[in-house]
């Protein structure tokens, strides 16, 4: 599937604002893919489809988690996490994309994962730092993204965890595991 076909499938699924975000993730991820060696075609597909399920009804997403035996604990951490794993399922089912690396990048773009592939890191980070994002700490992560992929991902997940703590929200266990795994990766480079 080429870029134009993918965008044509995704655009009706998103608000105008989220479509602009998706284009920002696409642009940013391709820069990161070139710098860090991710496959550009897979990067393109994962970036375009990463928020495919973002605006699906919450009850539909909950039902897919149950029916498709996605991790049940997703249901206990608010609805914001659901669109990533449900999106990976729907992209495979509705768009016919069955590349496991692309689907993994979509699945883990909000929580991260332990031992992420380069593509998963690129999409995770691009979603966080794309040019339309404006919040405290994003500039520092953008600067680090040009120097060290793992350190930038670590900064992004750390900022997210700290934000959730300040908001008195629960933290999904995989996000904590992602943080710990990235700490190990960064420390092994020393």
What CATH number does the domain containing 66 carry?
1.10.3210.10
Model confidence at 128: pLDDT above 90: yes
**CA–CA separation, 137 vs 124, rounded Å?**
16
pLDDT tens, residue by residue, 2-19: 999 999 999 999 999 999
State residue 176's pLDDT score: 97
Exposed / middle / buried, residue 16 (Cβ in 10 Å: 0-12, 13-18, 19+): exposed
In this prediction the pTM is: 0.96
The range of the structural domain enclosing residue 37 comes to 3-189
pLDDT of residue 64: 97
Under a CB-based contact definition with an 8 Å cutoff, are residues 70 and 43 in contact?
Answer: no
Helices 83-95, 40-49: inter-axial angle, 10-degree rounding: 110
Q: What is the pLDDT of residues 44-100, one digit of tens each?
A: 999 999 999 999 999 999 999 999 999 999 999 988 999 999 999 999 999 999 999
Number of domains in the chain: 1
Q: Which two tokens stand for residue 144?
A: 């680090």
pLDDT score recorded for residue 180: 98
Q: Residue 69, by phi and psi: left (phi above 0), alpha (psi -120 to 50) or beta?
A: left
pLDDT score of 190 more than 80 = no
pLDDT, one tens digit per residue, over 161-185 is 999 999 999 999 999 999 999 999 9
- Going by pLDDT thresholds of 50, 70 and 90, the confidence category of residue 189 is confident
Q: How far apart are CA 22 and CA 132, in angstroms?
A: 10
Predicted local distance difference test score (pLDDT) of residue 159 = 97
């Amino acid at each position: 599937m080429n870029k134009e076909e993918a965008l044509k499938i995704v655009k009706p699924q998103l608000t105008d604002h989220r479509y602009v975000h998706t284009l920002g993730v696409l642009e940013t991820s391709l820069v990161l893919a070139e710098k860090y060696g991710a496959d550009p075609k897979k990067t393109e597909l994962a970036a375009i489809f990463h928020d495919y399920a973002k605006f699906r009804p919450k009850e539909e997403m909950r039902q897919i988690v149950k029916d498709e035996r996605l991790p049940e604990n997703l249901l206990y951490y608010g609805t914001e996490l659901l669109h990533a794993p449900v999106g990976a399922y729907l992209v495979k089912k509705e768009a016919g994309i069955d590349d496991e690396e692309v689907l993994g990048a979509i699945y883990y773009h909000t929580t991260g994962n332990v031992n992420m592939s380069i593509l998963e890191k690129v999409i995770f980070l691009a979603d966080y730092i794309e040019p339309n994002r404006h919040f405290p700490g994003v500039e520092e992560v953008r600067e680090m993204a040009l120097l060290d992929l793992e350190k930038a991902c670590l900064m992004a997940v750390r900022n997210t965890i700290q934000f959730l703590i300040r908001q008195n929200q629960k933290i999904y266990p995989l996000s904590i595991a992602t943080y710990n795994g990235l700490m190990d990766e960064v420390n092994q480079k020393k």
